[in-house]
Amino acid sequence: MALDLELVEQSRTRQVKAIFPSTTNHYHTLFGGTALQWMDEVAFIVATRYSRQKMVTVSLDRIDFKQPIPAGYFAELIGEVVMVGKSSMRVKVDIYLENMYKDERKLAVSGMFTMVAVGDDKKPVTIRKHEK
């Protein structure tokens, strides 16, 4: 299936999280597992908004932790569909680090998620074109 650019735009998802001490490790930076959980949630939302079908995560490719995300910052997660196949799609999710008190923003984490459309039996199904 060809990538529908209008659906890509409509399904693009942004979430902003404040980094509080309760989500940080002993270095006062965001736990990697917490970042992955947030990214997986955004990938799921993007895939579901694009397909309007039941979607599950089947793999993560190359998660790059480029910058630590310290407490007292914002983290903006941005997810977007980059490829659609018969029953799967690839969703890129980036986390940008933003200083709360300065005009400063950096790419902190980047990753690619493969999502698959599933039926009620939890087996892969074809991603179908839906009404907008």
Query: Going from the N-terminus, what domains does the chain have, and what CATH number goes with each?
Result: 5-117 (3.10.129.10)
Indicate the pTM of the whole model.
Answer: 0.94
> Which pLDDT tens digit goes with each residue over 24-59?
999 999 999 999 999 999 999 999 999 999 999 999
User: Cβ–Cβ contacts within 10 Å for residue 30, how many?
Assistant: 26
The Cα–Cα gap between 73 and 84 comes to 34
Q: Which of 23, 60, 18 is nearest to 39 (CA)?
A: 60
Q: Report residues of the chain scoring pLDDT below 70.
A: 1, 130-132
**11 CB burial (10 A radius; 0-12, 13-18, 19+):** buried
